[in-house]
Chains A and B, each alone.
Chain A
Amino acid sequence: MRITSPHAHGPMSTPRVMLNVLLATVPGIVVMTHFFGFGTLVNILWGGLVAVACEALALKLRGRPLGFYLKDYSALVTATLLCIALPPYSPWWLIAVGIASAILLAKHLYGGLGYNPFNPAMAGYVILLISFPVQMTAWAPPRGVGELPGLLEALQACFTPAAFDGVTMATPLDVMKQNNSLLVKDLWQQNPQFGRWAGVGWEWANLAFLAGGAWLLYKRIFTWHAPVAMLAALTLMAALFNDGGSSASGGSPLFHLLSGATMFGAFFIVTDPVTSAVSVRGRLVYGAMIGALVYIIRVRGNYPDAVAFAVLIMNFAAPFIDYYTQPRTYGHQRSGGGE
């Protein structure tokens, strides 16, 4: 078999990209474990197991070599991202259904890695959210607000959910959304889950994910365009509609930046290469639209956090964006799809 040029190859490889992404989630996971207990860790371990099993099953059914495709770690990345998004102390079946939907429905039914139009982790998350709204909004109170279950209790919560009786409470985003009587200042005083800038724990988790994302940027795993555009758009929207803390307030820009899945979404979901726009301008548009949608859905939509929905909606639009943001090829006057 003849080998075409180039004969040299750069250092980057898909498994390495995936491993880097996995590594970059570590600070965020550590912070989440610190504030919410071992729930997230148990989620990830169990979810990873299910994901590998689902991936292997799908590959087997499709007659693909198992080892070769399992080694790209994409299933583990999907599982980790989904499990971080799930509430800690979720029952095992919830995680299994989510992972199975993500890997089998959102990924392999569309042709496997690289062919999926929707982000598998977010598709799995949304399927769970609309199917099991109760379980999906039951967040444990963070350290300092409520009692943290231990590792054994975390395992119990996962595998014998009936025997586990955990305390749950609304997340700050939820409280902010439901509120229509208190001023933002009073809200802060009356609810213990609000911290310095956003929610207790949430703000630090977000900063940790920001750090992980910055490391990925440094490693050139992705470009800055989409995440920065998303954060900028979200900040802009929050700043535009920030009324200084009335009862109808949507929250300050800082609150939005450090709440919920903002940073996690910006650096780990929006940057998913398969489902996002490709060209530089396309990524700017794609990220900015997600940022705007996140704010709109958070403030006006039915669900408390919005990253998953915003991302899925823009996944739809990615090919369209790509079509209209084709770069001008060397030596061409403006041609192709145009502006």
Chain B
Amino acid sequence: MTDLFAQYPLLTALIALVTLGAVFGAVLGFAAERFKTEGNPIVDQINAILPQTQCGQCGHPGCRPYAEAIANGEAINKCPPGGEAGIQALADLLDVEAIPLDEEHGEESVKKVAYIREPECIGCTKCLQACPVDAILGAAKQMHTIITSECTGCDLCVEPCPVDCIDMVPAEEEGLQSWHWELPDPVARKVEIIATDAPRDEAA
């Protein structure tokens, strides 16, 4: 290849280019060494968005591993507890498009907490081992109970229970304290937002 260029009359231009190339190459090499980034701060930000239920529905053992996986390019729609809002937050953070929840990983549902029907508990400690946040109180052959305020509602304790005494109940019952006004229903009040243009089939 050099021969080809050597025969070419624009030798000076070539030399200039080569020199430039060398100089820029050196700068590049220096920059590559000097400004090497270590670690990935984005993981922490992603982890902060994930709901920390540690439920494993995403296919990763815990929220942080999933955060790491997302940082490495995994889809952001595998977290049912985070729901559409979580996906939207992740999409905003990562500047990608928000996609609907992957149903293979479960469905978004109301927040729940585990509840042990205490008379039926035999004190096997299996649920204690299953709980990712140590929210179950108990010891061998002693009745167990859930610390409701610590429970993330991951339901990992339900399956191991040999006597099937754990129920998942809605975390907050709709009552006077938890009630609040909802946003006006865009369909009923015909308050249009541009996004409602999309499902045309229903509107037409």
Q: Which residues on A are within 8 Å of B, measured CB to CB?
A: 1-2, 4, 62-65, 68, 111-112, 115
Contacts and interface: CB of A to CB of B under 8 A. Distances in A.
Given A1-B188, A4-B181, A63 B200 contact: yes
A112 B192 contact: yes
A28 to B, nearest CB: 33
B181 A68 contact: no
Contacts of B202: 63
Nearest to A64: B203
Nearest to A2: B181
A110 to B, nearest CB: 9
A274 B131 CA distance: 55
B192 A63 contact: no
A63 B197 CA distance: 8
Given A4-B181, A62-B197, A63-B204, 13 more contacts: A1-B185, A1-B188, A2-B181, A62-B200, A63-B197, A63-B202, A63-B203, A64-B192, A64-B203, A65-B190, A68-B190, A112-B192, A115-B194
Nearest to B197: A62
12 contacts: A2-B181, A4-B181, A62-B197, A62-B203, A63-B197, A63-B203, A64-B192, A65-B190, A111-B192, A111-B197, A112-B192, A115-B194
Nearest to B190: A68
B3 to A, nearest CB: 57
Contacts of A115: 194
Contacts of A111: 192, 194, 197
Question: Main secondary structure on chain A at its contact with chain B?
Answer: loop
A111 B192 CA distance: 9
A328 B30 CA distance: 51
A100 B185 CA distance: 32
B47 to A, nearest CB: 31
Contacts of A4: 181
User: What are the 4 tightest A-B residue pairs by CB atom distance, in nearest-first order?
Assistant: A63-B203, A63-B204, A111-B194, A63-B200
Contacts of B194: 111, 115
Contacts of B203: 62-64
B142 to A, nearest CB: 47
Nearest to A4: B181
Nearest to B195: A111
| Most chain A beta carbons < 10 A, residue from B188, B200, B202 | B200
Contacts of A68: 190
A159 B194 CA distance: 37
Interface string B171-204: 0000000000100010010101010010010111
Nearest to B203: A63
A211 to B, nearest CB: 36
A223 to B, nearest CB: 25
Nearest to A115: B194
Nearest to B189: A1
A77 to B, nearest CB: 19
Contacts of A2: 181
Contacts of B185: 1
Contacts of A65: 190
A63 to B, nearest CB: 4
B180 to A, nearest CB: 12
A191 B3 CA distance: 78
A115 B194 CA distance: 9
Nearest to A68: B190
B84 to A, nearest CB: 22
Nearest to A1: B188
Nearest to A114: B192
A5 to B, nearest CB: 10
Contacts of B181: 2, 4
Nearest to A113: B192
Contacts of B190: 65, 68
B172 to A, nearest CB: 19
A184 to B, nearest CB: 51
A68 B190 CA distance: 10
A146 B165 CA distance: 98
A329 B204 CA distance: 42
A53 to B, nearest CB: 19
| Most chain A beta carbons < 10 A, residue from B188, B192, B200 | B192
A104 to B, nearest CB: 15
Contacts of A62: 197, 200, 203
Nearest to B184: A4
A64 B190 CA distance: 10
A334 B198 CA distance: 41
B59 to A, nearest CB: 38
B190 to A, nearest CB: 7
